[in-house]
Amino acid sequence: MRTALIAGNWKMNGSLALVERFAQAFVETRMPAGVEVALMVPSPYLDAARQAFGGTLVATGAQTLHSESGGAFTGEVSGSMLAEFGARYVLVGHSERRTLFHEDDAAVLARVKAALAVDLVPILCVGESLTEREANRTEAIVLGQVAAVFDVLEPSERERMLIAYEPVWAIGTGKTASPEQAQAVHAAIRARLKEYDAALAAGTRLLYGGSMKAANAAELLAQPDIDGGLVGGASLQIDDFLAICQSA
């Protein structure tokens, strides 16, 4: 069975004090059995988060990495550096990276490869814009983004991936995909994975992201092909984030 994962994405927000407050809440709150929780903090907070969450089961992750392992790339951070500071997961291809930092499918693939090379678990983010949805291109876009990575990976690499379906029009907008809309895309992704291998399709965790909050999480997470959530804004509010974890 697929273990649910609730992953928070702090984006470029937070502070050392917030890391400490979350750690305290994780110690005081009983997490539901069988649910994994992870927080993608800004890279400078990874070490503090690893230490602060050490007594809890909450994992840490990063929000991006460079595709090279080292070199003259001023300002960038490599996968091995993230791993050294305790990251287990890394987001790749988040829509903000694709849009604001012009990461195309080739750049996303290179980053996935770099993450796998140092045993980080990549969470590949895919999703359509509003214009693409309105032009009935959702499946073509999303499955194209999945194929751009999965077609190239070795079977043993595909098994180490997670995918987050995040409709771009739902990220940070307060607009959430309905459970039916989200389930339909998740089912299409799983069907696409079946073309590689039935066991891969059955075992790969697919997360939903896009304005997930305490009020809508349970319904989304109850869908058969939604195995967890990638939570942006609500992951900065302790009570909201814990409530989402409880509904998984």
Least distance from C-beta 23 to ligand PEP, angstroms? 21
Whole-number Å distance between alpha carbons of 93 and 164: 10
- What is the largest distance, in Å, between two alpha-carbon atoms of the chain? 48
- Using the minimum distance from each CB to ligand PEP, give the nearer residue, 96 or 225: 96
β-pair type (87-92, 59-62) = parallel
Catalytic residue flag (residue 180): no
Catalytic residue flag (residue 102): no
Least distance from C-beta 35 to ligand PEP, angstroms? 18
Nearest to 208 by CA among 184, 240, 186, 187: 186
Site residues (vs ligand PEP, CB under 6 A) = 9, 11, 166, 171-172, 209-212, 230-234
- Amino acid identity, residue 39? L
Q: How many CB atoms lie within 10 A of CB 69?
A: 13
- Using the minimum distance from each CB to ligand PEP, give the nearer residue, 177 or 201: 177
Q: Tokens standing for 88?
A: 């287990």
- Which residue in 36, 94, 96, 128 is the catalytic one? 94
Taking CB atoms, the residue at the shortest distance from ligand PEP is: 232
Q: Tokens standing for 184?
A: 């339909």
Least distance from C-beta 127 to ligand PEP, angstroms? 9
Least distance from C-beta 198 to ligand PEP, angstroms? 29
Binding site: which residues? Answer: 9-11, 172, 211, 232-233
Measuring CA to CA, how many Å separate 33 from each of 51, 201, 242, 244? Answer: 22, 24, 13, 14
- Using the minimum distance from each CB to ligand PEP, give the nearer residue, 136 or 174: 174
Binding site for substrate: which residues? Answer: 9-11, 172, 211, 232-233
Residues labelled as active-site residues? 94, 166
